[in-house]
Structure 1
Amino acid sequence: MSFFKNQFANVVEWQEFRDDMIFYKWSNREIKKGSRLIIRPGQDAIFFNNGKIEGVFRDEGEYDIESQIIPFLSTLKGFKFGFNSGMRVEVLFVNTKEFVVKWGTQNAINIPTLGLPGGMPIRANGTFNFKVHDYIALIDQIAGVKDQYVVEDVKIRITSVLDQLLMKWITREGKDMFNLQANSFDISKGVQEDLDMQMIKSGITISGFTVMSFSYPKEIQDVITKNASHGMVSDVGRYQQISLTDGMASGKMSGGGAASDMAGMMMGINIAGQMMNQMNQNSQNQPVSSQSTQPPAQPLAGDQKRPNFCPNCGTKTGVANFCSNCGQKLI
């Protein structure tokens, strides 16, 4: 008699568990008398009927459905198994862990930028975190029509709207287009809030979103690097010196000895000239001691105002009051 009693008994469990699977639905099968429920670590088991949750079981272990599960179901607690009759109910197993997913922009995002009519093409990458938090919404929006749901399904939904959200938060409040990494925290926080508002309707919450890096076209990145170099050396003259030195050290100017020597000579002349200018400026700015001040020499009579050279043509002057070459009045 016991043989007939348990011949239709079954095991309700998550078969072929996968780490990337968000839920698995054990559905459209009749639970017979003597059946068992197995809940493994990191799983919740949800009994629902006609889209309505009957009970949620979170503790891992093995349970007799008739004696340990049915008494806790909301509307099925009075159910009695007959000899040939079973219980029609769906069981949803949910993966309770937090998922971490890498993302990257599929195409460059053209961010409106002053001076670039087509916008600045920017790419970005990072990670986002999510987990299931609302079983009612999950069943209503997804599990009601799907037997399983994987991480890739969520990633597709996220990346389909990610470009627009990145553009929104990058351009918000006039952020520096050439130094977006400095604003990555604010951008990430804003995108996370918007994504969470969209996914929460499906019972999924976005618990984290991070922009790891922004990347620019090579031409733009070269300009950014050069501007950073300008800022490091603080003036164009020193930047030119460093560029010239780097070119010689890297061998880019070693095509001929004469060219290299000429470059070295020019660099030496420039540096010497700048040193002389600096010394002149220092001497002009240096205060004159009152003790060393001497009265200027008095000019000789008759030569008090006559210059040694004509201020107009530069001809050496004599004793005449007018230049002998151009007629310029000398005194």
Structure 2
Amino acid sequence: MAFFKNQFSNVVEWEEFREDMIFWKWSNREIKKGSKLIIRPGQDAIFVNNGKIEGIFQDDGVYNIESEIIPFLSTLKGFKFGFNSGMRVEVLFVNTKEFTVRWGTQSPILIPSPELPGGMPIRANGTLTFKVNDYVTLIDKIAGMKDSYLVEDVKLRITSVLDQLLMKWISKEGKDMFNLQANAYDIAKGIQEDLDMQVMNNGMTITGFQVMSFNYPQEIQDMITKTASHGMIGNMQKYQQVSLTDGIASGNVKGGGAAADMAGMMMGMNIAKEMMNNVNAPNPGQTPGAGTGTGAGANAGGKKPNFCPNCGAKTEGANFCPNCGQKLN
């Protein structure tokens, strides 16, 4: 007799478990006398009868359904297993972990920008996390019609509205369109709130949303880099001088042509000018006008400088520099 009683027993467990599966439904089978329920770590088991939740079991382990499960089911406490029949109940297994999704814009988003009439084309990428938090809504909206649900299904729904949300929050929070990363936190926070409203209707919640980077077209990125380098130099004249010096030092300005000659002459004139300024500058503690020869004091006495203080050319006692025309007295 014991043999016939045990032949109807079965095991209720998540048979098709995958790490990217949000839930899986054990259905269309009877739970019979002697059956066992297996709940593994990170899983919840929800007993459903006629679309209504009978009981939720969250502790992992192996349970005897007749003695440890049925007494806790809301409307099935008085159920008695027959010899040849069982109880037809659906068991929904839910993955309780937090899922991580990597996202990225498939094509550039045209963000309205006064600098660009057609809009600023921007790509973005990052990650988001979500989890199931409402079993009643999950069963009502999804599990009632599906036997399983994957992370990819949620990702498809999120990415279908993500471009619109990026445009909304970049336009709202992106005060500097050329430095969106500075406002990435506020942009991501706004998108997370809107996405949470989207998935809340399915019994899930967005637990985190991050924007890892914003990407511009190459020509705009080059312009941003150039603007930043000018800002670091702070002075266009100095920037040109540094670029010229770097070019000569690296050998990019070379050869016997006019460009190299002009570059060498300009650098020589600038160096001579700096030298004359240093010579004419009063020493620390020296009274202005008390120079010894070519300084301001000497000019006050009528003596002309031997070299032009502007370009460094030899003056030969002239009243004006024969090279640049600088007045010498």
Structure 1 pair 244–141 and aligned structure 2 pair: CA distance change class (3 A):
farther
| C-alpha contact 1:241 1:267 (8 A) present in aligned 2 | no
Q: Any idea what SS the aligned residue of 2:81 has?
A: coil
Aligned to 1:114: 114
Q: Distance in 2 between matches of 1:138 and 1:55?
A: 15
RMSD of aligned residue pairs (Cα, Å): 2.8
- Cα shift readout 1:27-77 (whole Å, capped 9, x = no counterpart): 121111111100001100000112211100011100111110000000111
- Cα shift readout 1:113-161 (whole Å, capped 9, x = no counterpart): 1131110100001100111111111111111111111111111111111
Letter in structure 2 aligned against 1:171: S
Structure 1 pair 53–159 and aligned structure 2 pair: CA distance change class (3 A):
same
Q: Distance in 2 between matches of 1:43 and 1:99?
A: 14
Aligned to 2:260: 261
Aligned to 2:150: 150
Structure 1 pair 43–164 and aligned structure 2 pair: CA distance change class (3 A):
same
Q: Distance in 2 between matches of 1:235 and 1:281?
A: 25
| C-alpha contact 1:43 1:96 (8 A) present in aligned 2 | yes
Aligned counterparts, 1:79-98, within 5 A: 79-98=79-98
Q: Distance in 2 between matches of 1:51 and 1:139?
A: 8
- Cα shift readout 1:151-196 (whole Å, capped 9, x = no counterpart): 1111111111111101111110551100000000100111111101
Q: Distance in 2 between matches of 1:16 and 1:45?
A: 14
Q: Distance in 1 between matches of 2:133 and 2:269?
A: 69
CA offset at residue 241 of structure 1?
2.3
Aligned to 1:328: none
Q: Distance in 1 between matches of 2:179 and 2:229?
A: 15
CA offset at residue 271 of structure 1?
3.5
Structure 1 pair 66–259 and aligned structure 2 pair: CA distance change class (3 A):
farther
CA offset at residue 258 of structure 1?
3.6
Structure 1 pair 281–52 and aligned structure 2 pair: CA distance change class (3 A):
farther
Aligned to 2:322: none
Residue 26 of structure 1 pairs with residue 44 of structure 2 = no
CA offset at residue 250 of structure 1?
5.3
Aligned to 2:36: 36
Residue 51 of structure 1 pairs with residue 45 of structure 2 = no
Aligned to 1:227: 227
Residue 123 of structure 1 pairs with residue 123 of structure 2 = yes
Residue 5 of structure 1 pairs with residue 5 of structure 2 = yes
| C-alpha contact 2:40 2:60 (8 A) present in aligned 1 | yes
- Cα shift readout 1:91-124 (whole Å, capped 9, x = no counterpart): 0111111111111111100000113111010000
Q: Distance in 2 between matches of 1:249 and 1:106?
A: 44
Letter in structure 2 aligned against 1:262: D
| C-alpha contact 1:131 1:207 (8 A) present in aligned 2 | yes
Pairs aligned (count): 295
CA offset at residue 265 of structure 1?
0.7
Misfit runs of 4+, over 2 Å: 241-254, 256-264, 269-283, 286-294
TM-score (norm 2): 0.81
Q: Any idea what SS the aligned residue of 2:110 has?
A: strand
Identity %: 68
Aligned to 2:311: none
Residue 60 of structure 1 pairs with residue 73 of structure 2 = no
Structure 1 pair 278–43 and aligned structure 2 pair: CA distance change class (3 A):
farther
Structure 1 pair 80–265 and aligned structure 2 pair: CA distance change class (3 A):
same
Aligned to 1:163: 163
Q: Distance in 1 between matches of 2:163 and 2:276?
A: 54
Aligned to 1:326: none
Aligned to 2:210: 210
Q: Distance in 2 between matches of 1:140 and 1:281?
A: 89
Runs (5+) with no aligned partner, structure 2: 292-296, 302-318, 320-329
Structure 1 pair 108–268 and aligned structure 2 pair: CA distance change class (3 A):
same
Q: Distance in 2 between matches of 1:264 and 1:34?
A: 96
Q: Distance in 2 between matches of 1:73 and 1:242?
A: 81
Q: Any idea what SS the aligned residue of 1:202 has?
A: coil
CA offset at residue 272 of structure 1?
3.3
| C-alpha contact 1:248 1:260 (8 A) present in aligned 2 | no
Aligned to 1:323: none
